[in-house]
Amino acid sequence: MTADDSPDDREPKATDSDADRAPRTDGSGTDSGSAGTSDDADGEIDSDSKHEQLEEVRENAEGEYLTTDHGVRVTDTDNSLKAGERGPTIMEDFHFREKMTQFDHESIPERVVHARGTGAHGYFQPYEDPDLGEYDDVSELTKASFLQDPDQKTPVFTRFSTVVGSRGSADTVRDVRGFATKFYTEDGNWDLVGNNMPPFFIQDAMEFPDLVHAIKPEPDDAIPQAASAHDTFWDFASLKPETTHMLMWLLSGRALPRAFRMMQGFGVHTFRLVNEEGESRFVKFHWTPKLGTNQLVWDETQKIAGNNPDFNREDLYDVIDEGYAPEWELGVQIVEEDEADRFDFDLLDPTKIIPETEVPVRPIGKMVLNERPDNFFAEVEQVAFHPGNVVPGIDFSNDPLLQGRLFSYQDTQLNRFGSANWDEIPINRPIAERHNNQRAGFMRQEINEGKASYKPNSIGDDDPQEATEAEGGYEHRAERVDGRKIRNRSESFQEHFSQARLFWNSMTEPEKQHIVEAARFELGKVERTEIRERTVYDLFNNVDHEFAKRVAEGIGVEPPEEPGDEMPTHDREDPSLSMENRTPETIETRKIAVLLDDGFEDDHVSRTVSALEEENARVKIVAPAFGEREGADGETVEADESLSTAESVLFDAVLVPGGGDSVDALEKQGDVRHFVEEAFKHKKPIGALGEGTELLESVDLPDVDVAGDGEGPTEPTGVVTCRDDGELDAFLEEFVDAIAEHRHWERDSTDVSA
């Protein structure tokens, strides 16, 4: 639906000045409350609408003169104005003063949480034929207009983040990831401000400052940076059993995503969808990545943090630059209001998920991120989200965590921007028209015409007018609320271990081992024995007795003899919780290193590179040094990376083609042997052709029958070799399958963290 062809009941309310009233988006250019025309002449919103609005404020200095902020051309920007060549600087030097003042003021407070992040533009598009099961049409669920028309693309901006670290911290730390999307809809902005894990640590917004104080660097020495592995966090967590479910997620591979484009997103809270008839249903929002969910291993994350602290940030921009637009499916879990009590948990409790075994996720549309920002500060740093930004058709629940967030985000933006006008910054400005009587404050951009900035008024025809619900006005759902003022926690919020156990039960053995290793690391960094003990006895032993014992053994705590008193006995599982069940059969965008030097086997390289690229993998030639390399038959390739810039941790798979001279040269390089050994240790697929297999023999890969002589195990390990060129096609098929599997956990299930 577009602004122009909106149904009658959504037209502005009838008054004498009706003829003058512009459509809901500011495309007409008349009486636009926003600075700048945002969309097509017909007022229609499409995927370019935000782009066009931003075009108004984009600046390009190519071929231009350097000027002051006020437009005066500058003759010399290197030397300040002085009284004599060696004399003091003169106050009159307006160019010096302006340049230095701008510099002195160019940082703003970083976000108190989620400071480290990155973002991209894109669009959201409802599905043509949504699989809505009992609902034929999404309009039965919600009147949100941007969800209705499969031909309409709504612009979005998404910011991904870590939570704990400061703005300059590394990307690959163990942490929750933020997943916040601003939809610039024709009815105003909707911000879906979620995480990559569906539960949360606490149940009430009152506890948030305590949680954040506990997990941030400790207040006396500001150590450690971007880590939960320290006393104050585990002290807090061990005293709050409600954190247990989320702790399981935090200890799992979910906290080490391979890429932002390979992680799920969740709205976390229960929200409401409301249709035209005013019927409301509870909803949980899910983002499902098209490329599946994939993780890094712990040892790898530590090395990447040194080798490339911008690993996830860079990955997002690299794939967009290379033409692969990351995509997620938006899905909803719907619960009828009168069925809300059928669960053994409270829908308003944000430490709980709705298991997909109980309510399936219904896909309703997709998001594609296809454009990187032009300026990190103007767009990624200044984008400001607020869960209170909703549009008609989407409403809140009484989740006490969500209710508190509705205050906090508006407030925190005042701190970050120093002004209530943060919504006027281009990246935050809606495409929908804005008209109201707010027209002052620091850094006001809009120039509101007219005398009357109050209501009611007769001077300005009483404009701008309030809209009825039928005209698109936001009406809060008239939920009946009746209660006494009370400061306590509902009885229905008191069970904390059942879903933590569900999560544990749903993991594969390597995933369980990962959680155990992660807990041993985290608690191993905790100095106080009583905190380690409390976590094992009061939390983990109430999730699963074996789990608690396995952790205890690694951290010097006496393993508990009996299961905890509150440990649920159920053995329920939900397959959707295991990342292993979410690895798709595609190698699209996986980064594959081809290790070679002069004298490589031309045919091996050309055939494997084209076969892998056909599957949309990103193949990079890694040679001992940069420059051209010549094959045995005279073909040349250019090295994308050298052994000084590339390490195996930056790739998803490794391939060693044949060619005697090439392999001989590689074998002499310690870095090459390390490359292959480390890729193996991190369970990555490894392929070798011809003489390349000798390189695998020269490095020590445990349990692999590289020689093909029947010695050693024959089970699949993700190491694929080929000695006979006649079997190259079969090799390629097998290698592609091995890459699609992502990691080969079966190599050594007791050494998952590597």
Binding footprint of ligand HDE on the chain (CB under 6 A):
111-114, 117, 159, 161, 178, 180, 193-195, 200, 205, 208, 268, 384-385, 401, 404-405, 408-409, 412
Q: How far is the CB of 411 from ligand HDE (least distance, A)?
A: 7
Closest residue to ligand HDE in the complex (CB): 178
CA distance 89 to 101: 15
Residues 6+ apart with CB under 8 A from 655: 592, 593, 594, 595, 608, 686, 687, 688, 689, 692, 735
How far, in Å, CA of 400 to CA of 406, rounded?
Answer: 10
Nearer to ligand HDE by C-beta: 410 or 586? Answer: 410
CB of 112 to ligand HDE, least distance (A): 5
Interhelix angle 400-417/208-215, nearest 10 degrees: 60
Residue placing its CB nearer to ligand HDE in the complex, 246 or 722: 246
CA-CA distance, 57 to 35, in Å (whole number)?
A: 10
Closer by beta carbon to ligand HDE, 26 or else 424: 424
* Smallest separation (angstroms) from ligand HDE to the CB of 165: 13
Radius of gyration of the chain (CA): 29
Query: Smallest gap, in angstroms, from Cβ of residue 545 to ligand HDE?
Result: 30
Least distance from ligand HDE to the Cβ atom of residue 403, Å: 8
> Nearest distance from residue 145's CB to ligand HDE, in Å?
24
Q: Which candidate in 95, 189, 195, 286 is catalytic?
A: 195
What is the DSSP code string of 388-436? T---TTEE----HHHHHHHHHHHHHHHHHHSSGGGGGSTTT--SB----
| 646 vs 226: CA distance, rounded Å | 25
The residue whose two tokens read 């919103």 is 45
114 counts as catalytic: yes
Contact 346, 492 (CB under 8 A): yes
Q: Position of tokens 């044949």?
A: 658
Task: Note whether 449 and 435 are within 8 A (CB).
Answer: no
What's the gap between Cα 187 and its chain centre? 25
What is the identity of the amino acid at 413? Q
Query: Residue for token digits 């000084």?
Result: 644
Note whether 708 and 688 are within 8 A (CB).
no
In the residue annotation, 457 being an active-site residue is answered as: no
Alpha-carbon distance 701 to 681, whole Å?
9
CB contact at 8 A, 518 and 298: yes
Coil vs helix vs strand at 338: helix
Nearer to ligand HDE, 488 or 714 (CB): 488
Q: Are 201 and 249 in contact (CB under 8 A)?
A: no
Report in angstroms how near the CB of residue 434 gets to ligand HDE at its nearest.
20
Closer residue to ligand HDE in complex, CB, 27/194: 194
Comparing CB distances to ligand HDE, the nearer of 387 and 685 is: 387
DSSP H helices in 498-542? 498-506, 509-524, 529-534
Q: For 282-294, b where at least 16 C-beta lie within 10 A, e where not — what string?
A: bbbbbbbbbbbbb
Compare residues 113 and 250 and give the one whose CB is closer to ligand HDE: 113
List the beta bridge partners of residue 336: 281
| Residue 205 or 676 with smaller CB distance to ligand HDE | 205
Pairing outcome for strands 188-195 and 177-185: antiparallel
Provide the 8-state DSSP code for 659: -
Minimum Å gap between C-beta 499 and ligand HDE is 16
Closest CA to 535 of 523, 550, 518, 553: 523
Helix (H, G, I), strand (E, B) or coil at 590: coil
Q: How far is the CB of 352 from ligand HDE (least distance, A)?
A: 13
Q: Is 164 or 384 the residue whose CB approaches ligand HDE more closely?
A: 384
Active site residues: 114, 195
